[in-house]
Structure 1
Amino acid sequence: MSENQNAALYFVDRHVDEGRADKVAFREAAGAKRSLTYGALAQRSDLVAGAFEQAGVVPEQRVACIVLDQIEYPEIFWGALKAHVIPIALNTLLSTSIYDFILKDSRATCLMVSHELLDVVMPAAAQAPHLKTIVVIGGEAPEGTISYEDFLTGAAPKQAVHVGEDECAFWLYSSGSTGQPKGVRHVHGALQATSDTYGAQVLGIREDDVVYSVAKIFFAYGLGNAMTFPLSVGATTVLFNGRPTPDVAAQIIADEQPTIFCGVPTLYAATVHYFENNPVPQSNLRMCISAGEALPEEVGNTWQELLNVEILDGVGSTEMLHIFLSNRPGDVVYGTSGMAVPGYELRCVDEDGAEIAPGGVGELLVRGASAAEGYWNKRSKSRATFEGEWTRTGDKYEITAEGRFVYCGRTDDMFKVSGIWVSPFEVEQALIAHPGVLEAAVVPKRDEEGLEKPQAFIVLKPGAAADKVLPELKTLVKEKVGAWKYPRWIEVVEDLPKTATGKIQRFKLREVA
């Protein structure tokens, strides 16, 4: 019989055999500060696997996980993999209507939900025709549900079911920034594919590292940061179940002393601004990483000046599971996304599929072992995105003569002015270089002659006066990125529409432009 390639064996159980049973795998950053050792994780995930079997959740059925970043999450995720039931890591910030769609679309038969989220989730759960078991984590379990501890009571521990590396392990749902979210199916082998490439060869994660990820576990980026990479080497993860505001991030850096901090551009920008008026904490950081959107050059440089640590800006996707394009330690060029992560191949193509020459702009395609096996019940979308071994990212990039990749924008966000492509991100970077601008988004708007020109929406920093800032911005953009790219219209807004993972939803701004 072939070797059992259940991912839980590599990421959880082997650590007991290798002498790490008593080492803390996860600890919580607030409240009771509970912790979970590698030995306890192995035992508890065996028990969760047995509880699924006891509850009649059979292999390959889906388990919806609407769970905060807390100790129970790794128990549930790895326990599900051991039982070969399919955990679906779901965004904990969605609306009832989106949960209603996902529970029906996925046909999940079991739901694991944190008590704090019941008010939003239960109305959707009540309408889910396939849902048979609802398990509540923390607090009292309402009528028709069962508490997590009662769910485990009486279950016989179950060791990892024998599977191949190409069998489905878990689902993620895409952010749905331009429509209904899509179920993305990942296989057991994809997890180690990311830790063997980015985790080992770019991040260089070590057993003595302590990792804190601002991005939550439900996010592909957060799943790698908080679970896959630390568990690949026996490191420790700090979990925080609340909203990661700049003051909270600074406090966790100070109190928990992580060595690796995993952020997103919006949080880095807001925290840099926070440090303008608050002390920078003493830290033990040796590495910071960023993904989700391109990191503005200004933000990267300022963070490094303040904390004396680089940010490795990289690019990943739900479809590819984690980062496949990144800057490297000691070789960071802010304003670029770096180069291909070892183990991945990249190319940029034009509208006809021909590869572009350096200096041109094209859509980025990626090839690597972590690619999803496809979307759930979206055959035409799967065929359009997954072209054989290549995955279309939907991102437009320029390749420099040195081979670095420079982000230009989403394919849907790019537009032409005077026949020349304009990158919204490039103009946005120029705008936030102004000391009075916190955030910016650029979209096309038609002028009185029906021609597209840039329109900017900006969020000012507290204390900045619009009448002083606005007159300076058009000139600033002309000087930094080109005369034809300056925004003809600039609107000051309180905030920008974003997905729960921090990506700006420019399509919403296009609707009002």
Structure 2
Amino acid sequence: MNLAAELAVRAARHGWRDRTAYLTKSARVSHGQVHDLAARAAQVLAGLGVGPGRRVLLALPDGPEWIITFLAAARLGAVPVLTNPALPAADHAHLVQECEVALIVAEEPLLSRFADRTTIEVGHLMARAATASVARAHPVRPDAPLYIQYTSGTTGRPAGVVHRHGDLAHHHRAVAAHMLRIRATDVSLSVSKLFFAYGFGNSLVYPLYTGSAAVLLADRPSPARIEELADRFAVTVLHAVPSALAHLTAEASPAAFDRVRVAVSAGEPLRPSLADRACRLLGAPVLDELGSTEAGGAFCAQTLAHAVPGTVGKALPGFRVEVRDARNRQVTTPGVEGDLWASGPTLMAGYLQQPARTADVLRDGWLRTGDRAALDEHGNVVHAGRADDLEMVGGITVSPLEIERVLDDHAAVRESAVAAVPDERGATKLRAFVVALDRSDHDVVARELLAEARQRLAPFKVPRSVEFVPALPRTATGKLQRFVLRTGRP
């Protein structure tokens, strides 16, 4: 099999070639155009020395050209390396060296940083592809490397994760078919970008496997931009992160989302209060999912058929999850928290050139996800945050998520985060960082928040202070950078 050839055949077999695959502010591209141009772009890449096993760095903003270049490399049996085009030059240089990249595809402004490597400007690639012949698809086994994707780096230097040609079909079955029931008539919009595992599934895997369409954005969309695009393109499936949903509920109008039938939240725990606000805004269910770069996407989620508020549902088809204690024993007692482990057909073989780090998270076909979780009485997974998010205060380990759920229930709070911050003597004290929904009197809101926390939480979990901030520090994927808050200078 070869993924690129398989998807092209699938589009023809199901009659999708003339259906719109991708929408941008200036173009509509059909499924047939995507696959035809990818087959021709592959011939151009082959002329530049790209072949089976060679690695091609994609340093591109989201757009049809991204999809076409990815499929072109895959058609040759080459391995695209997915990267954020906004990374610093030093980070790109590290990826190029670590992955032994043979070719870089980028826009003109970035090409100068790769002067010592073979490069091609993406517009030039597309222009040459328009008149090139069709490249033959290189046959590969399902377990052959397809692409390398880097982790977000929230717990250390980003690590390269290799995924295979056979992985994408599993994600389609688990998420697009089972969880979301995506059909050819759907139009998706993803806040997360293609170079992240979440965005890759949303904007490449699900549309190409279902014949549906996806809106692609080169930039990071504001709430107003999301609202405008959802209305203009009649979006039916919205993929977001909790921070984006928080801003939407504060700034957007429900009328723009009247054709949305389902939304997805990922990247961080979705607080019940925010889920309720988002459901009211969108007039549709908001499903929480949990995944990772190491798993290639979601492995556990609520679904249209089964969504218990306050949980991330159960393992998706093909996957298993377990909660384990500190001695690596499975925990089945409801409400008892432990480390979350996952297994399934799309787990990475390992981190690129990092065997020790691989051995730390992969054991006997199971992935230690780095998440903390418990099971409810029906076997649903209750996410308790990342293991490295736990705070130590006065010798006691505290989960900030429990505190943040209390703070987020206040009508004046858009979002909050709690961290242990050292005081002038070096003693750590819990501080709540709050983004307000409006211009309410901050002193009054702070007193109300602390009073509510004292009523609902154990004394050692009550923040000592509340600081109002315009925004919380986040990664490009929208994940909270709690380590920044711990400095006391967000």
Q: State if a TM-score over 0.5 links the two structures.
A: yes
Match of 1:206 in 2: 183
Which residue among 122, 129, 132 is the counterpart of 1:137?
122
Secondary structure of the residue aligned to 1:412 is: helix
Counterpart of 2:49 in 1: which secondary structure? coil
Pick closer, same or farther for the CA change 1:15–1:149 going to 2, 3 Å.
closer
- Equivalent position amino acid for 1:304 in 2: C
Q: Please tell me whether residue 100 in structure 1 is matched to residue 77 in structure 2.
A: no
Structure-1 residue corresponding to 2:304: 329
Partner of 2:350: 374
Distance change in 2, residues 1:43/1:505 (3 Å): same
Displacement after TM superposition at 1:462 (Å): 3.8
C-alpha separation between the residues in 1 aligned to 2:431 and 2:448? 15
User: Relative to structure 1, is the Cα distance of residues 282 and 181 closer, same or farther in structure 2, using a 3 angstrom cutoff?
Assistant: closer
Mapped pair 1:434 → 2:410: yes
Tell me if the contact between 1:96 and 1:123 (Cα under 8 Å) persists in the aligned partners: no
1:25 and 1:282 map into 2 onto residues whose CA distance is 21
Q: 1:197–1:343: 8 Å Cα contact kept in structure 2?
A: yes
Q: Does 1:494 align with 2:470?
A: yes
Query: 2:140 corresponds to which letter in structure 1?
Result: V
1:422 aligns with 2:398: yes
Compute the displacement of 1:47 (Å). 0.8
Distance 2:381 2:72 in 1: 39
User: In the aligned structure 1, how far is the partner of 2:394 from the partner of 2:387?
Assistant: 18
Taking the TM superposition and a 5 Å limit, the aligned residue runs for 1:270-289 are 270-275=247-252, 278=253, 280-289=255-264
Identify which of 39, 51, 55 aligns with 1:58: 51
Aligned counterpart, 1:23: 19
Q: Distance in 2 between matches of 1:494 and 1:207?
A: 40
1:80 aligns with 2:73: yes
Matched, 1:461 2:454: no
Answer whether contact 1:171 1:186 (CA < 8 A) is retained. yes
Q: 2:404 is matched by which residue type in structure 1?
A: E
Q: Deviations along 1:268-325, whole A, 9 cap, x unmatched?
A: 00000003xx564252111111111111211110111222101011101011111111
Distance in structure 1 (CA, Å) of the matches to 2:66 and 2:157: 25
The SS at the match of 1:171 is: strand
Letter in 2 for 1:264: V
488-497 or 105-114, which deviates more:
488-497
Confirm or deny that 1:125 pairs with 2:114.
yes
State the alpha-carbon separation in 2 of the partners of residues 349 and 168 from structure 1: 31
Instruction: Return the alpha-carbon distance in structure 2 between the equivalents of residues 481 and 407 of structure 1.
Output: 19
TM-score (norm 2): 0.94
Question: Contact conserved, 2:227 with 2:257, CA < 8 A, in 1?
Answer: no
Distance 1:316 1:489 in 2: 33
| Partner residue in 1 for 2:30 | 37
Distance 1:283 1:453, change over 3 A: same
Displacement after TM superposition at 1:436 (Å): 2.1
User: Match of 1:350?
Assistant: 325
Match of residue 195 from structure 1: 172
Task: State the distance in 1 between where 2:448 and 2:170 align.
Answer: 48
- The residue identity in structure 2 corresponding to 1:125 is F
The correspondence of residues 82-481 of structure 1 with structure 2, limited to 5 A, is: 82-115=75-108, 118=109, 121-122=110-111, 124-126=113-115, 131-132=117-118, 134-138=119-123, 147-149=124-126, 151-152=128-129, 155-275=132-252, 278=253, 280-356=255-331, 357-415=333-391, 421-445=397-421, 453-481=429-457
Tell me how far 1:512 sits from its aligned partner.
Answer: 3.8
1:505 is matched with which residue: 463, 472, 481?
481
1:225-261: per-residue Cα shift (whole Å, max 9, x none)?
1111121121112212222111011111111011111
Normalised to the residue count of structure 1, the TM-score between the two structures is 0.90
Distance in 1, Cα, partners of 2:459 & 2:6: 55
Residues 331 and 480 from structure 1, CA distance in 2 versus in 1: closer, same or farther, beyond 3 angstroms?
farther
SS state of the match for residue 260, structure 2? coil
Would you say the 8 A contact 2:41–2:126 is kept in 1?
Answer: no
**Do the aligned residues in 2 keep the contact of 1:217 with 1:223 (CA within 8 Å)?**
yes
Instruction: Spell out, residue by residue over 1:89-116, the C-alpha distance to the aligned partner (whole angstroms, 9 max, x if none).
Output: 212332233222222222212111134x
Superposed displacement of residue 124, structure 1: 3.5
* Separation of aligned partners in 2, 1:26 and 1:445: 46
Q: How many positions carry a matched residue from both structures?
A: 488
Q: Is the 8 A contact 1:66 1:111 kept in 2?
A: yes
* More moved, 249-258 vs 7-16: 7-16
- Separation in 1, partners of 2:476, 2:335: 33
**How many Å separate the matches in 1 of 2:221 and 2:179?**
25
Match of 1:142 in 2: none
Gaps (5+ residues) in structure 1?
Answer: 139-146
Report the alpha carbon displacement of residue 453 of structure 1 after superposing the two structures with TM. Answer: 4.7
* Paired residues of 1:96 and 1:124 also in contact (CA < 8 A): yes
Rounded Cα–Cα distance in structure 2 between residues aligned with 1:397 and 1:421 = 15
1: CA distance between counterparts of 2:105 and 2:423? Answer: 51
Instruction: Return the letter of the residue paired with 2:46.
Output: E
Which residue of 1 is the match for residue 4 of structure 2? 8
Secondary structure in 1 aligned to 2:385?
A: strand
Whole-Å separation in 2 of the counterparts to 1:235 and 1:279: 24
**Change in 2 beyond 3 A, CA 1:324/1:441:** same
Please say if residues 478 and 484 of structure 1, whose CA atoms lie closer than 8 Å, have aligned partners that are also in contact. no
Q: Which amino acid aligns with 1:294?
A: P
Structure 1 residue identity aligned to 2:350: G
Q: Deviations for 1:198-230, whole angstroms, at most 9, x for unmatched residues?
A: 221111111221111111111111111111112
Measured in 2, the distance between the counterparts of 1:65 and 1:424 equals: 37
Q: CA deviation at 1:21?
A: 2.0
For the 8 Å contact 1:60–1:84, the answer to whether it is kept is: yes
Quote the Cα distance in structure 1 between the aligned partners of 2:31 and 2:183: 16
Please give the secondary structure, in 2, of the residue aligned with 1:292.
coil
Would the aligned equivalents of 2:23 and 2:214 in 1 still touch at CA under 8 Å? Answer: yes
- Give the AA of the match of 1:472: E
Summarize the Cα distance change of 1:281–1:17 in structure 2 as closer, same or farther, 3 Å threshold.
Answer: closer
Distance 1:465 1:383 in 2: 51
Label 1:354 to 1:234 Cα distance change in 2 as closer, same or farther (>3 A).
Answer: same
338-347 vs 447-456, which deviates more?
A: 447-456
CA distance in 2, matches of 1:151, 1:180: 37
- Rounded Cα–Cα distance in structure 2 between residues aligned with 1:104 and 1:469: 51
Structure 1 letter corresponding to 2:357? K
**Closer, same or farther: CA 197–279 of 1 in aligned 2, 3 Å:** closer
Please state how far the C-alpha of 1:50 moved relative to its aligned partner.
Answer: 1.0
In 1, the alpha carbon distance for the partners of 2:488 and 2:220 equals 29
- The alpha-carbon deviation at position 508 of structure 1 amounts to 2.1
What secondary structure is seen at the aligned counterpart in 2 of 1:230?
Answer: helix
Amino acid across the alignment from 1:377: Q
Q: CA RMSD in A?
A: 2.1
Query: For structure 1, which segment, 93-102 or 68-77, has the greater mean C-alpha deviation from structure 2 after superposition?
Result: 93-102
